[in-house]
């Protein structure tokens, strides 16, 4: 069979009006089904004719998973809420600014208008070997083409690899980890809640998936607790071009200080591993220290301890170190 | 090409040894055949027609008109506009949400027409470049501003940029140059005419304010 | 008399169509019964097609036929065919298939069973030069004037490669002028460096789609091309058709940058498929396909040694270039690079050595300042380094070396028509505020360091000897027929004003005829290499002078007196000193039709090209014709110059670079149209920013497969990657060797942008020259952190 990378092959389109209905359809079709939200990741796969679902379940008609509302002392954001809405929401901006900033730097205005928070979190990796349709581990083969001594892996990972060296591309993921968010999931078997940092799975756990979502499950909402509201936030995404691009490395941080010292902190980086990485060691280190240059330097060093470069991506080590430093300092200056 | 490199691995939890072996064979078999590195796609779905229960005929609201059209489930809006409704002003520059030439407005917001399924915009107001002029042929202030600035070079990107400018001014009638640049950052111009395009956007804002 | 149109801002006549979506590009045309073709691309970098079994595909409902390599015009080596059974790069079209709709065609391509025999392939030119190294072509690995040949270098030539020393051996091209040893002996400073310049895909916004059908034996083809007339001829030639049997419509071209100069080989596919299946065929080219078949700029692996006197004057240049060629044809970027280096710095002595090496990567072609844009981006940071070491101002070192009107350059010691380079440097420096801004060089604010850069970029700016064809119709309107294309430079309209000004006709009384071969177009230059501004202001001027003379003669004939006693203006020919005695153009056109002969186009000059003869003959009898070959003097080479001034803020913790400032100063002769000049200066610069900063060309070396084949991985600059505002200034001194004084300006702005940014980044790094493009975040950060560079020395496809 020859290969062509154009024109979406046929599928059956479902546009359910409720989560339960969607979950039913997904259950019916099993691994022949596909969840479509904003579609920016999905349509790319479909046009490449690499992912070929039989049934596509489009979520646009499900009102219950759209919108932002207060929930307890925090917020609950529907997974199908557009990134533009997240970035512009006064509630998000005022209390959880790091998420608004991260959402505002995803791709381009058009993509943010259509792309959803859930889609940004669940997006598949952009490893160009994998996306190109190579029969790698992640695609069910038993080779990683990106991890060999001669591979082109400038944008691949420096930590957390297990056979696969692809990175997670989400901008909102590290922000939500820094905010201690929780992912609300619904499947045929009912609802479950998973902490943001546990939502993403690396290749050591399941090499074909990016998240804990089982086939047939839907991410319905993201719940952000009030615990970090109004903290000192830091967000930075370094990329080759100032629009469209995924992060080479990104950092998100929430830091609460009192009396000149860091009381508590949560930090996450992305673009360095198959999952976004919560920097627990750094958080522990920071507690009780002044947010000064010395602390920042120590945090940067600790954050990158154990990082191992591939052939082309050594730069991610100093880049991550420096971004963590900046996050602790709270400024690029 | 026989020296397939395999990283040292231990079998991961949940993956049987058998799956691995299957992978090796599949990769090896690909080497001399047509797909080279590319894994063969799943067999084509038998019978490419969709179920009769799916309503393929729908009515789109495009540029203020109701346009009945027969649309495949997998069809993108850009394809429907260009090949079924004759609205070729919406361009396909990449078909992958990477260039913005296909930008259209959906309920006033700019989207990549290439990357949205037509069936998902059934009940929404779609505006294309052809829908900006007034009935008497008067250009939209954005179009007029571009003309007055001598805007664009090859102009293949122009319809998309213009739609993004319309969306911008609708939302922010007094953008700074920097705000305009951010709002137009989802549109690519390979002629590199960004300076003049931004000049046009700023002039368009002025025209729109004058009209308001 | 009407005010001169040249020098004014006048929006091109196609702009309303462009802003309303009515402008039709190739893929916007439809024909009754139109069907769709799709391509089967090679998945391997080099292979032979052993077997194709399309039975299953052809049996699918809606599939209409396939077209194979033996059905398209066959090309002699190293020429490129539209379809091939020996693909020489990943993505090369092997066959095409047509079906009633695109999905069916794509499904059917997948149903084709194809068996390929892998052949040896090479991605890095240096690999092919190694003893026993693979060749991209079965007949050799390089080409010179005599054809394809094989050159291998001895093993010891590669001894220093791992340390970053360019291997050097036998070359195909070499020239020297002056005494190189003496030049380096005289030098107070000698620097040498190894430099890598990446290849870049053109990626015009409009992929090279085409639609074709046949009617009454004539081919009608709608395609994207930079040059209407020259593509019409090329397609007729390729398909063995009489030019009268080809109707080519290409009114709009969505960008080309050198990749669509005379169309594209792939246009044969829609034409031949349409003939084979008897239906109109649309071949929509995807971005993915455009990456492969859409051409690229050749990359270089180079070594240079330069010597300077204490005052900054360059004494000698020794340049060695290995060019990454792709698999077909002969790209001469590397040769031009040598010439441009010599012209830019005017060394007392220079040696150039170069070899171009076939690789199994996409075909190359000219890309805006071919060869020039690469070499200035490579050498300008070295000039900075020398200035720093010598303690000479960076502006001064450009001034002291800048070519003047008497400059000689290149292997043939060519001469220029004019060179106002120092003037351009001076007006540019003043408007940019060089003195103040260069004082900010190295300023540190937080983690941001300011860098200021300069890039001098010369390039060829015009050819001559083409034809102009004008017609005043009985309604009094001046029709200016243009065989050049419309790829967005506005020159199809701007050069027409040379004719309007000679005749004193207001722009509203002019109609430009372009973009459709059935509209009778004159023999024109290709719309490439910055030729048209120069070539067609001249040709239109010549035709207008012919037309003016004929108007004078008609007036003398009807109203008495000598032709010389009449003048033209405001749509009339009238007696000097008595404007009321005369004829309007409408009347003159009617008289021309009555008079016949040369006035109506029935008798034509004998030196015009046969293309013009055909068009003029078709137009004969419809009005008063002006038609002439450009026989104006053209002594010396016409070159334009741009000096870019750039400001950047470089973040020392991330390697991120923000372009904050850019000004282009130019010597391009008379300014034809200020606003389109600004667009060329800025647009070219933006492409140059991409070349210097972001644009990638990446191949897996083991498998020969590209990765920067999408826009998101190729990374051309977006709106936020360029300065928020850009400025420009022109010297405006007319070139003495052309009647209007205007030189072309499409090419040099690109190199100026690339070089100025490379120079500014080097400045922000305290004078460190990283000697490669693109200068991406990772490359810069590795330097700042003193860590290993992300790429091996001389690695070219990273």
Q: What is the pLDDT of residues B101-155, one digit of tens each?
A: 999 999 999 999 999 999 999 999 999 999 999 999 999 999 999 999 998 999 9
Question: In Å, how far is B18's CA from the nearest CA of chain C?
Answer: 27
- Using 50, 70 and 90 to split pLDDT, how confident is the model at B4? very low
Cross-chain CB nearest to C109 (options A4, A315, A331): A4
Distances (CA, A) of C391 to C384, C386, C388, C409, C760: 10, 8, 5, 27, 17
Nearest to C300 by CA among C117, C540, C124: C124
Q: Which parts of chain A sit beneath pLDDT 70?
A: 332-333
* CB environment B94-108: b (16+ within 10 A), e (fewer): bbbbbbbbbbbbbee
ipTM for this prediction: 0.97
B116 has a chain A CB within 8 A of its CB: yes
Nearest to C524 by CA among C203, C119, C225, C167: C225
Report the pLDDT value the prediction gives residue A1, as an integer from 0 to 100.
77
Total residue length of chain C? 798
Cross-chain CB nearest to B150 (options C11, C28, C110): C11
Cross-chain CB nearest to B147 (options C16, C115, C678): C16
pLDDT digits (tens, 9 = 90+) for C47-78: 999 999 999 999 999 999 999 999 999 999 99
The answer to whether the CB of A244 falls within 8 A of the CB of B187 is: no
C720 contact residues in A (CB cutoff 8 A): 241-243
Cross-chain CB nearest to B41 (options A52, A60, A205): A52
Q: Check A152 against C698: CB less than 8 A apart.
A: yes
Q: Check B74 against A133: CB less than 8 A apart.
A: no
Neighbours of A326 (CB within 10 A): 22
Residue C433: φ, ψ to 5°: 80, 50
Strand order in the sheet with A232-238: A232-238, A249-258, A261-270, A277-278
Nearest to A71 by CA among A43, A95, A35, A100: A95
The answer to whether the CB of A186 falls within 8 A of the CB of A59 is: no
State the pTM of this model.
Answer: 0.96
Report the pLDDT value the prediction gives residue B37, as an integer from 0 to 100.
54
Cross-chain CB nearest to A318 (options C110, C286, C785): C785
Q: Check B89 against C118: CB less than 8 A apart.
A: no
Nearest to C537 by CA among C480, C612, C591: C480
Report the pLDDT value the prediction gives residue B55, as an integer from 0 to 100.
80
Residue C68: φ, ψ to 5°: -110, 170
Q: Check A11 against B35: CB less than 8 A apart.
A: no
Neighbours of B211 (CB within 10 A): 9
Q: How far apart are CA C100 and CA C102, in angstroms?
A: 7
Q: Check C19 against B139: CB less than 8 A apart.
A: yes
A312 contact residues in C (CB cutoff 8 A): 778, 790-791, 798
Bridge partner residues of C434 (DSSP) = none
Q: Which residues contact C266 (CB under 8 A, 6 or more apart)?
A: C82, C93, C208, C210, C283, C285, C293
Q: Check A3 against B38: CB less than 8 A apart.
A: yes
B38 has a chain A CB within 8 A of its CB: yes
Cross-chain CB nearest to C778 (options A148, A151, A154): A154
Residues 153-182 of B with CB under 8 A from A: 164, 167, 182
Which residue in the block uniquely carries the two structure tokens 């952190």? C785
The answer to whether the CB of C103 falls within 8 A of the CB of C318 is: no
Residue A151: φ, ψ to 5°: -70, 160
Helix C421-432 and helix C394-401, axial crossing angle in degrees, nearest 10? 160
Helix, strand, coil percentages (3-state) for chain C, rounded to 5, are 35, 25, 40
B91 contact residues in C (CB cutoff 8 A): 25, 205-206, 254
Q: How far apart are CA A241 and CA C776, in angstroms?
A: 10
C40 contact residues in A (CB cutoff 8 A): 2, 4
Q: What tokens appear for B110 in the block?
A: 């700019």
Report the pLDDT value the prediction gives residue A332, as an integer from 0 to 100.
67
Report the pLDDT value the prediction gives residue B31, as an integer from 0 to 100.
34
Handedness of CA B144, B145, B150, B156 (dihedral sign): negative
C-beta contacts of B44-48 below 8 A and 24+ residues apart:
B44/A9, B44/C107, B44/C110, B44/C111, B45/A9, B45/A10, B45/A11, B45/A52, B45/A54, B48/A9, B48/A10, B48/C103, B48/C104, B48/C107
Report the pLDDT value the prediction gives residue B12, as an integer from 0 to 100.
35
Q: How far apart are CA C686 and CA C664, in angstroms?
A: 11
Q: Which residues contact A76 (CB under 8 A, 6 or more apart)?
A: A68, A69, A70, A184, A221, A222, A223, A224
B45 contact residues in A (CB cutoff 8 A): 9-11, 52, 54
Q: From the candidates C198, C712, C770, C793, which should be mutated to test the interface with A, based on the most A CB atoms within 10 A?
A: C712
Q: Check A1 against B76: CB less than 8 A apart.
A: no
Handedness of CA C206, C207, C213, C219 (dihedral sign): positive
Q: What tokens appear for A179 in the block?
A: 């905010």
Question: In Å, how far is C124's CA from the nearest CA of chain A?
Answer: 13
Q: Check C110 against A313: CB less than 8 A apart.
A: no
pLDDT digits (tens, 9 = 90+) for C316-339: 999 999 999 999 999 999 999 999
Instruction: Classify strands C246-249 and C218-223 as parallel, antiparallel or unpaired.
Output: parallel
Report DSSP state, residue C667: E
Q: Which residues contact B46 (CB under 8 A, 6 or more apart)?
A: none
| SS3 call for C384 | helix
Q: What tokens appear for B105 in the block?
A: 């407005």
Q: Can you point out the beta strands (E) in C448-535?
A: 448-460, 467-472, 478-482, 510-514
CB-side neighbour CA atoms (13 Å) of C162: 2
Residue C195: φ, ψ to 5°: -130, 135
* CB environment B182-197: b (16+ within 10 A), e (fewer): bbbbbbbbbbbbbbbb
Q: How far apart are CA B119 and CA A79, in angstroms?
A: 21
- Using 50, 70 and 90 to split pLDDT, how confident is the model at B44? very low
Report DSSP state, residue C100: S
Q: Which H or E run contains C643? A: strand C639-651
Report DSSP state, residue C693: I
Nearest to B197 by CA among B212, B209, B180: B180
Handedness of CA C51, B5, C695, B98 (dihedral sign): positive
Q: How far apart are CA C676 and CA B137, in angstroms?
A: 26
Nearest to C623 by CA among C480, C466, C505, C467: C480
C284 contact residues in B (CB cutoff 8 A): 92
pLDDT for B32 beyond 90: no
N- to C-terminal Cα separation, chain A: 56
Is the preceding omega at residue C774 within 30 degrees of 0, hence cis?
yes
Q: Check C778 against A323: CB less than 8 A apart.
A: no
Q: Check A240 against C776: CB less than 8 A apart.
A: yes
Report the pLDDT value the prediction gives residue C694, as an integer from 0 to 100.
95
DSSP character string of chain B: ----------PPTT--HHHHHHHHHHHHHHTTBTTTTSPPPPPPPSS-PPPTTS--EEEEEETTEEEEEE--TT-BHHHIIIIIS--TTS--SSSSSSS-TTEEEETTEEEEGGGSBGGGGTTSEEE-GGGSS-TTSPPPHHHHHHHHTT--SS-TTHHHHHHHHHHHHHH-SS--HHHHHHHTTT---TT-THHHHHHHHHHHHHHHHHH-
Q: What angle do CA C405, C409, C411 make, to 5 degrees?
A: 155
A9 has a chain C CB within 8 A of its CB: yes
Report the pLDDT value the prediction gives residue A269, as an integer from 0 to 100.
98
Q: How far apart are CA C266 and CA C294, in angstroms?
A: 10
Bridge partner residues of A68 (DSSP) = A77
pLDDT digits (tens, 9 = 90+) for A262-285: 999 999 999 999 999 999 999 999
Q: Which residue intervals of C669-747 are DSSP H helices?
A: 674-689, 711-714
Q: Check B95 against A162: CB less than 8 A apart.
A: no
Chains A, B: CB pairs < 8 Å: 167
Nearest chain C residue to B177 by CA distance is C724
C114 contact residues in A (CB cutoff 8 A): 2
Q: Which H or E run contains C168? A: none
A151 has a chain C CB within 8 A of its CB: yes
The answer to whether the CB of C788 falls within 8 A of the CB of C210 is: no
Q: Can you point out the beta strands (E) in C702-744?
A: 705-706, 727-730
Nearest chain A residue to C788 by CA distance is A314
The answer to whether the CB of C464 falls within 8 A of the CB of C531 is: no
Neighbours of B91 (CB within 10 A): 30
Q: Check B162 against C684: CB less than 8 A apart.
A: no
Cross-chain CB nearest to C718 (options A5, A128, A241): A241
B1 has a chain A CB within 8 A of its CB: no
Q: Which parts of chain C sit beneath pLDDT 50?
A: 1
Residue C578: φ, ψ to 5°: -150, 85
Q: What tokens appear for C472 in the block?
A: 């005043």
Q: From the candidates B190, B199, B200, B204, which should be mutated to test the interface with C, based on the most C CB atoms within 10 A?
A: B190
Q: Where does residue C132 rank: exposed (0-12), middle (13-18), buried (19+ CB within 10 A)?
A: exposed
Neighbours of C167 (CB within 10 A): 21
Report the pLDDT value the prediction gives residue A331, as an integer from 0 to 100.
79
Chain C: partners with 3+ C-beta pairs within 8 Å = A, B
A318 contact residues in C (CB cutoff 8 A): 781, 785, 787
């Amino acid at each position: 069979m020859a290969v062509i990378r154009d024109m979406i092959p046929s599928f059956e389109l479902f546009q359910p009006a409720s989560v339960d209905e969607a979950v039913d359809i997904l259950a019916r079709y099993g691994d022949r089904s596909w969840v479509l939200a904003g579609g920016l990741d999905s349509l790319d796969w479909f046009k490449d004719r690499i992912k070929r679902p039989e049934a596509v379940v489009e979520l646009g008609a499900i009102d219950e998973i759209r919108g932002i509302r207060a929930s307890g002392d925090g917020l609950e954001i529907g997974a199908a809420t557009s990134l533009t809405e997240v970035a512009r929401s006064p509630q998000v901006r005022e209390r959880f600014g790091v998420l608004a900033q991260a959402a505002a730097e995803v791709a381009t205005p058009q993509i943010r208008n259509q792309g959803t928070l859930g889609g940004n979190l669940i997006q598949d990796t952009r490893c160009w070997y994998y996306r190109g349709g190579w029969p790698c581990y992640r695609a069910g083969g038993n080779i990683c083409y990106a991890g060999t001594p001669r591979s082109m892996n400038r944008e691949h990972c420096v930590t957390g690899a297990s056979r696969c060296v692809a990175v997670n591309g989400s901008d909102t993921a590290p922000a939500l980890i820094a905010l201690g968010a929780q992912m609300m999931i619904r499947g045929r078997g009912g609802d479950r809640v998973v902490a943001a940092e546990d939502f993403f799975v690396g290749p050591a756990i399941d090499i074909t998936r990016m998240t804990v979502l089982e086939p047939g499950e839907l991410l319905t909402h993201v719940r952000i607790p009030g615990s970090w509201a109004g903290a000192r936030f830091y967000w930075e995404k370094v990329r080759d071009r100032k629009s469209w691009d995924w992060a080479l490395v990104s950092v998100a941080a929430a830091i609460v200080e009192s009396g000149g010292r860091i009381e508590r902190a949560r930090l996450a980086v992305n673009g360095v591993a198959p999952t976004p990485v919560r920097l627990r060691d750094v958080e522990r280190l920071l507690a009780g220290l002044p947010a000064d240059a010395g602390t920042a330097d120590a945090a940067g060093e600790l954050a990158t301890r154990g990082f191992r470069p591939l052939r082309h991506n050594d730069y991610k080590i100093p880049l991550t170190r420096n971004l963590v430093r900046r996050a602790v300092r709270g400024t690029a200056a | 090409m026989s020296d397939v490199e395999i990283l040292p691995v231990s079998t991961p939890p949940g993956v049987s040894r058998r799956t691995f072996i299957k992978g090796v064979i599949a990769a090896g078999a690909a080497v001399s055949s047509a797909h080279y590195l590319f894994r063969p796609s799943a067999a084509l779905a038998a019978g490419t027609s969709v179920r009769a229960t799916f309503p393929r005929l729908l009515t789109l609201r495009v540029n203020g008109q109701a346009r009945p059209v027969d649309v495949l489930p997998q069809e993108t809006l850009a394809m429907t506009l260009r090949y079924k409704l004759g609205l070729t002003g919406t361009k396909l520059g990449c078909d992958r949400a990477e260039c913005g030439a296909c930008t259209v407005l959906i309920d006033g917001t700019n989207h990549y027409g290439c990357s949205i399924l037509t069936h998902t915009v059934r009940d929404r107001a779609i505006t294309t470049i052809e829908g900006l002029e007034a009935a008497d042929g008067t250009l939209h202030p954005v179009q007029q501003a571009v003309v007055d600035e001598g805007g664009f070079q090859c102009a293949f990107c122009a319809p998309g940029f213009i739609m993004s400018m319309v969306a911008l001014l609708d939302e922010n009638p007094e953008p700074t140059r920097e705000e305009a640049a951010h709002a137009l950052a989802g549109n690519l111009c390979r002629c590199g005419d960004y300076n003049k395009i931004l000049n046009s956007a700023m002039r368009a804002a002025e025209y729109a304010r004058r009209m308001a | 008399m009407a005010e001169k149109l040249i020098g004014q801002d006048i929006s091109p006549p196609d702009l309303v169509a462009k802003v309303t979506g009515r402008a039709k590009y190739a893929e916007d045309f439809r024909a009754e019964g139109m069907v769709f073709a799709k391509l089967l691309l090679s998945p391997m970098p080099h292979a032979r097609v052993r077997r194709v079994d399309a039975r299953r595909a052809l049996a699918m409902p809606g599939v209409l036929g396939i077209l194979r390599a033996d059905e398209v015009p066959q090309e002699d080596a190293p020429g490129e065919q539209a379809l091939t059974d020996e693909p020489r790069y990943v993505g090369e079209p092997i066959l095409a298939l047509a079906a009633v709709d695109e999905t069916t065609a794509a499904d059917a391509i997948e149903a084709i069973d194809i068996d390929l025999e892998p052949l040896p392939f090479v991605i890095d030119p240096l690999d092919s030069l190694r003893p026993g190294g693979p060749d991209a072509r079965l007949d050799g690995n390089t080409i010179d004037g005599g054809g394809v040949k094989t050159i291998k270098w001895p093993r010891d030539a590669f001894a220093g490669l791992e340390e970053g020393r360019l291997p050097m051996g036998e070359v195909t091209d070499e020239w020297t002028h002056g005494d190189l040893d003496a030049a380096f002996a005289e030098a107070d400073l000698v620097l040498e460096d190894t430099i890598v310049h990446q290849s870049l895909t053109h990626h015009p916004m409009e992929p090279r789609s085409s639609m074709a059908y046949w009617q009454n034996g004539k081919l009608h083809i709608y395609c994207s091309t930079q040059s209407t007339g020259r593509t019409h001829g090329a397609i007729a030639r390729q398909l063995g058709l009489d030019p009268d049997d080809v109707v080519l419509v290409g009114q709009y071209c969505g960008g080309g940058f050198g990749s669509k100069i005379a169309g594209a080989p792939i246009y044969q596919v829609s034409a031949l498929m349409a003939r084979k299946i008897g239906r109109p065929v649309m071949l929509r080219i995807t971005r993915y396909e455009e990456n492969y078949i859409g051409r690229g700029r050749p990359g270089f692996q180079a070594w240079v040694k330069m010597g300077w006197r204490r005052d900054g004057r360059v004494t000698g240049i020794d340049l060695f270039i290995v060019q990454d060629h792709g698999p077909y044809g002969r790209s001469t970027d590397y040769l031009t690079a040598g010439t441009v280096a010599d012209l830019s710095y005017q060394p007392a002595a220079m040696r150039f050595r170069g070899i171009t090496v076939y690789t199994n990567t996409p075909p190359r072609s000219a890309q805006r300042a071919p060869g020039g844009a690469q070499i200035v981006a490579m050498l300008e940071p070295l000039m900075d380094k020398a200035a720093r070491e010598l303690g000479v101002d960076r502006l001064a070192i450009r001034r002291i070396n800048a070519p003047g009107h008497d400059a000689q350059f290149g292997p043939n010691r060519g001469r220029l028509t004019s060179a106002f380079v120092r003037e351009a440097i001076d007006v540019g420096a003043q408007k940019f505020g060089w003195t103040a801004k260069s004082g900010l060089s190295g300023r540190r604010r937080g983690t941001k360091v300011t860098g200021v850069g300069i890039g001098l970029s010369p390039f060829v700016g015009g050819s001559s000897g083409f034809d102009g064809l004008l017609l005043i119709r009985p309604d009094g309107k001046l029709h200016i027929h243009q065989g050049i294309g419309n790829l967005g430079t506005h020159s199809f309209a701007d050069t027409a004003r040379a004719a309007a000004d000679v005749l004193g006709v207001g722009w509203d009384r002019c109609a430009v005829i372009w973009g459709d071969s059935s509209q009778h177009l004159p023999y024109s230059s290709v719309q490439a290499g910055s030729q048209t501004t120069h070539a067609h202001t001249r040709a239109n001027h010549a035709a207008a002078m012919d037309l003016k003379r004929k108007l004078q003669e008609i007036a003398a004939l009807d109203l008495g007196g000598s032709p010389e006693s009449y003048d033209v203006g405001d749509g009339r020919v009238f007696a000097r000193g008595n404007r009321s005695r005369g004829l309007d153009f409408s009347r003159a056109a009617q008289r021309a039709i009555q008079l016949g002969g040369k006035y109506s186009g029935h008798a034509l000059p004998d030196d015009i090209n046969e293309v013009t003869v055909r068009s003029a003959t078709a137009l004969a009898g419809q009005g008063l014709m002006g038609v002439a070959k450009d026989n104006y003097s053209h002594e010396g080479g016409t070159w334009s110059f741009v000096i870019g001034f750039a400001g950047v803020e470089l973040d020392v913790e991330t390697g991120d670079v923000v372009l904050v400032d850019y000004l282009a100063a130019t010597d391009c002769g008379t300014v034809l149209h200020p606003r389109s000049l600004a667009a060329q200066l800025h647009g070219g610069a933006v492409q140059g920013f991409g070349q210097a900063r972001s644009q990638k060309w990446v191949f897996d070396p083991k498998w020969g497969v590209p990765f920067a084949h999408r826009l998101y991985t190729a990374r051309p600059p977006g709106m936020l990657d360029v300065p928020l505002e850009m400025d420009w200034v022109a010297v405006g001194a007319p070139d003495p060797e052309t009647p209007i004084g205007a030189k072309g300006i499409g090419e040099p702005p690109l190199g100026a942008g690339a070089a100025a940014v490379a120079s500014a980044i080097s400045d922000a790094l305290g004078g460190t020259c990283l000697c490669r493009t693109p200068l991406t975040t990772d490359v810069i950060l590795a330097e700042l952190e003193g860590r290993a560079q992300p790429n091996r020395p001389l690695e070219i496809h990273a």
